[in-house]
Amino acid sequence: MDVVIITKQGHLLLVMLGVCAVLLCASAACTTTAPETPSTAETRAITDMVGRTVVVPSEIESVLCTSPPSTMLVYMVAPDRLGGWNFLPEIEYIPDEYAALPVVGGWFGKETGNYETFISMHPDIVIEGYTTDGGAARATIAERQEKMGSIPVVAVEDTTNATGYSKPIRFMGDLLGEEEQAEAMIAFYEGVLTIVTERVASIPDDERVRVYYAEGPKGLATDPTGSQHSELIELCGGTNIADCALTPGMGMTEVSMEQIISWDPDVILAGDPAFYATVWTDPLWQDITAVKTERVYLIPRTAFCWFDRPPGINRIIGIPWTAKVLYPDLFGDMDLEGLVKEYHDLFIHVSLSDDQIQEILNP
């Protein structure tokens, strides 16, 4: 067996190599275990739509909203950021992963919200829809922030103004880093809005279609001019014939059959499928011009209603639909089927077949 003899010089060399190895290991250990330098961009200050400065996370991953118009806005701009619904949409027209989101309620006429529930969901921010009188809304926002504690509350404006949707869409796109999606939505919205409003502007007042918005299973509730719920009638060139009191908030003013007979609308927009199914044979309605001329239309509802309830950006597709229903000749060149398909691809994140579109438009 060979014997290795280590001289004094060799021993010293080995010791020095060992010391170097220890130092290198210590250096490596320091490199791998030292904490990373905290990012200086973990939060950012924004100005919300009522001028409040709010500090929010730089990367917003989860959002809850206090009312349906804001919830739909978040879903349409950035569906993966939405943490829950105020009420469940029509799940047949929503991708499964979003249909499975929890229903958390909210504060929108129906007081179904619970602060403990919202807080327990740990959203990065909460969106408060700013849709009412300035003073009242600011008080509401202050109350929401107090109740939500450290969760930032961001105010969004004009989510129920059918001629002002561009601003909240763009604001939400900037807030959530989805600027490209937001601009595509705005281009679609402003395109249909411009076409409709420019064409109907030249219709003389005495030639405008007289419209009744029939709500409820018997059609004996409605919303007059000035209500956010009936806004698309005038926007699309019609005359809202409901001469009745305006019910604030949730709307739906009750009216009598005698009133409707005296108004005698040219067109009826039916919000309830039960009413639409019976109006053709109900003897009380047979002398109404809209029924005699077969101009009663069931308002489409896919993921959300196209005309109202809620009166949010879901109504964007309702603008061309309402216009073509009221003035089929004036909008004869409008490709409504194509618009419906494009809207659902872009806003609802679902593709509809041609057969589905025909079923929706021809109930």
Contact 9, 17 (CB under 8 A): no
Sequential pLDDT tens for the chain (363 residues)? 343 434 444 444 433 444 344 333 343 333 333 333 334 459 999 999 999 999 999 999 999 999 999 999 999 999 999 999 999 999 999 999 999 999 999 998 667 889 999 999 999 999 998 654 445 567 789 999 999 999 999 999 989 999 999 999 999 999 999 999 999 999 999 999 999 999 999 999 999 999 999 999 999 999 999 999 999 999 999 999 999 999 987 899 999 999 999 999 999 999 999 999 999 999 999 999 999 999 999 999 999 999 999 999 999 999 999 999 999 999 999 999 999 999 999 999 999 999 999 999 999
* Token pair listed for 221: 């509730």
- Tell how strand 210-214 and strand 239-240 pair up: parallel
The phi and psi torsions of 62 (rounded to 5 degrees) equal -140, 130
pTM to 2 decimals? 0.87
Going by C-alpha positions, the residue among 350, 324, 349, 345 that lies closest to residue 335 is 324
Can you tell me the distance from the alpha carbon of 326 to that of 319, in angstroms, rounded to the nearest whole number?
11
Can you tell me the distance from the alpha carbon of 48 to that of 363, in angstroms, rounded to the nearest whole number?
42
Quick one: which H or E segment has residue 211? strand 210-214
Going by C-alpha positions, the residue among 44, 46, 72 that lies closest to residue 58 is 44
Quick one: which H or E segment has residue 151? none
Cis before 310? omega within 30: yes
